[in-house]
Chain A
Amino acid sequence: MDKDSLVSLYRQMLLIRVFEDKSAEMYAKAKIGGFLHLYNGQEAIAVGAVSALRPDDDLVTHYRDHGYALARGISPRAVMAELFGRETGTTGGRGGSMHLADVSKRFWGGYAIVGGHLPLAAGLAYAAQHHKTGRVVFCVMGDGSTNIGTFHAALNWAQLWRLPVIFTVENNQYAMGTVITNHSAVTEIYRKACAYDMHAEQVDGNDVLAVREVVCRLAERARNGEGPALLEAVTFRHRGHSMADSDVQRPKSQVAEWKERDPIPAFAQVLLERELLTPQDLEQIARDVEAEVEDAVAFADASPEPARQTLYEGIYAEPVSNMQIDGSLIAPPALGPVIFKNGTGNHG
Chain B
Amino acid sequence: MAEITYREALKRALREEMARDPNVVIWGEDIVAYGGGGAYGVTAGLAKEFPGRVRDVPIAEEAIVGVGIGAAMGGVRPVCELMTINFALVAWDQIVNHAAKQHHMFNRQIQVPMVIRSPAGWGRTASTHSQTFENWLASIPGLKVVYPSTPYDAKGLLKASIRDNDPVFFIEHLALYGTRGEVPDEEYVLPIGVSQVKRPGKHLTVVTWGRMLVETMKAARALEAEGIELEVIDLRTLRPLDLAPALESIHKTNRAIVVEEGFRTVGLGAEIAASLQEMAFNDLDAPIARVAGLEVPMPYAKNLERATIPFAEDVIAAVRRMMEKQY
CB 8 Å contact bits of A304-338 with B (1 = contact, 0 = none)? 00000000011111101111100101000000000
User: Nearest Cβ distance between residue B231 and chain A, in whole angstroms?
Assistant: 14
Residues on A with beta carbons closer than 8 Å to the beta carbon of B70: 60, 119-127
Selected interface stretch from A43-51, A61-69, A151-159: A151-159
User: Nearest Cβ distance between residue A48 and chain B, in whole angstroms?
Assistant: 24
Bound state CA distance, A101 and B251, in angstroms?
A: 48
- CB pair B98–A123 under 8 Å, yes or no, is no
- CB pair A123–B67 under 8 Å, yes or no, is yes
A172 in contact (CB, < 8 A): no
A92 in contact (CB, < 8 A): yes
B301 in contact (CB, < 8 A): no
CB 8 Å contact bits of B283-297 with A (1 = contact, 0 = none)? 100000000000000
**B62, B65, B71, B244: the one within 8 Å of A124 (CB):** B71
B106 in contact (CB, < 8 A): yes
B279 in contact (CB, < 8 A): yes
Selected interface stretch from B10-18, B38-46, B107-115, B126-134: B107-115
**A123, A130, A150: the one within 8 Å of B68 (CB):** A123
- CB pair A113–B248 under 8 Å, yes or no, is no
Bound state CA distance, A322 and B98, in angstroms?
A: 24
Residues on B with beta carbons closer than 8 Å to the beta carbon of A119: 62-63, 65-67, 69-70, 94
B166 in contact (CB, < 8 A): yes
- CB pair B279–A342 under 8 Å, yes or no, is yes
Selected interface stretch from A102-110, A227-235, A241-249: A102-110
Bound state CA distance, A340 and B275, in angstroms?
A: 11
Bound state CA distance, A131 and B23, in angstroms?
A: 9
Residues on B with beta carbons closer than 8 Å to the beta carbon of A111: 98
User: Nearest Cβ distance between residue B210 and chain A, in whole angstroms?
Assistant: 19
Bound state CA distance, A72 and B60, in angstroms?
A: 32
**B60, B104, B251: the one within 8 Å of A94 (CB):** B104
Bound state CA distance, A141 and B150, in angstroms?
A: 45
Bound state CA distance, A160 and B27, in angstroms?
A: 14
- Given the interface pairs A131-B74, A342-B247, the reply to whether A322 lies near B193 with Cβ below 8 Å is yes
A95 in contact (CB, < 8 A): yes
Bound state CA distance, A240 and B313, in angstroms?
A: 62
A77 in contact (CB, < 8 A): no
Bound state CA distance, A313 and B108, in angstroms?
A: 9
Bound state CA distance, A104 and B191, in angstroms?
A: 31
User: Nearest Cβ distance between residue B180 and chain A, in whole angstroms?
Assistant: 27
B215 in contact (CB, < 8 A): no
> What bracket does the count of chain A residues touching chain B fall in?
35 or more
Q: Which residue of B lies closest to A60 (CB)?
A: B70
- CB pair B106–A95 under 8 Å, yes or no, is yes
Residues on A with beta carbons closer than 8 Å to the beta carbon of B109: 91, 101-104
Residues on B with beta carbons closer than 8 Å to the beta carbon of A118: 66
B200 in contact (CB, < 8 A): no
Residues on A with beta carbons closer than 8 Å to the beta carbon of B63: 119, 122, 150, 153-154, 156-157
Residues on A with beta carbons closer than 8 Å to the beta carbon of B241: 322, 324
Residues on A with beta carbons closer than 8 Å to the beta carbon of B141: 315
**A90, A123, A318: the one within 8 Å of B69 (CB):** A123
B37 in contact (CB, < 8 A): no
Residues on A with beta carbons closer than 8 Å to the beta carbon of B193: 320-323, 347
- CB pair B251–A130 under 8 Å, yes or no, is no
- Given the interface pairs A119-B94, A324-B240, A342-B247, the reply to whether A153 lies near B60 with Cβ below 8 Å is yes
A348 in contact (CB, < 8 A): yes
- Given the interface pairs A123-B69, A157-B60, A157-B63, the reply to whether A131 lies near B107 with Cβ below 8 Å is no
Residues of chain B in range 1-58 having any CB-CB distance to chain A below 8 Å: 23, 25, 57-58
- CB pair B98–A101 under 8 Å, yes or no, is no
Bound state CA distance, A57 and B244, in angstroms?
A: 47
Bound state CA distance, A130 and B113, in angstroms?
A: 16
Residues on B with beta carbons closer than 8 Å to the beta carbon of A154: 63, 66-67
User: Nearest Cβ distance between residue A180 and chain B, in whole angstroms?
Assistant: 24
CB 8 Å contact bits of B233-273 with A (1 = contact, 0 = none)? 00000001111110110010000000000000000000000
CB 8 Å contact bits of B85-96 with A (1 = contact, 0 = none)? 000000001100
- CB pair A347–B275 under 8 Å, yes or no, is no
Bound state CA distance, A343 and B244, in angstroms?
A: 7
- CB pair A91–B106 under 8 Å, yes or no, is yes
A251 in contact (CB, < 8 A): no
Bound state CA distance, A270 and B77, in angstroms?
A: 48
A37 in contact (CB, < 8 A): no
**A108, A324, A345: the one within 8 Å of B245 (CB):** A345
- CB pair B73–A160 under 8 Å, yes or no, is no
Residues on B with beta carbons closer than 8 Å to the beta carbon of A125: 70
CB 8 Å contact bits of B157-201 with A (1 = contact, 0 = none)? 000000011100000000000000000000000010111000000
Bound state CA distance, A116 and B62, in angstroms?
A: 9
**A109, A116, A320, A347: the one within 8 Å of B93 (CB):** A116
User: Nearest Cβ distance between residue A303 and chain B, in whole angstroms?
Assistant: 14
B82 in contact (CB, < 8 A): no
8 cross-chain pairs, A with B, having the tightest CB-CB distances, nearest first: A123-B70, A127-B74, A345-B244, A119-B66, A317-B165, A153-B63, A120-B70, A153-B60
Q: Which residues of A contact B (CB under 8 A)?
A: 58, 60, 90-92, 94-95, 99, 101-104, 108-109, 111, 113, 116-128, 130-131, 149-150, 153-154, 156-157, 160, 313-318, 320-324, 327, 329, 340, 342-343, 345-348
Q: A316-B103, A345-B245, A345-B247 are in contact. List 9 more A-B contacts (CB 8 A).
A: A99-B105, A102-B109, A116-B66, A119-B70, A120-B66, A127-B75, A318-B166, A322-B193, A347-B195
21 pairs, CB–CB < 8 Å, chain A vs chain B: A91-B107, A92-B107, A95-B105, A104-B109, A116-B98, A119-B65, A123-B68, A123-B74, A124-B71, A126-B74, A130-B23, A130-B25, A154-B66, A156-B60, A157-B60, A317-B108, A317-B113, A317-B166, A321-B193, A323-B193, A343-B251
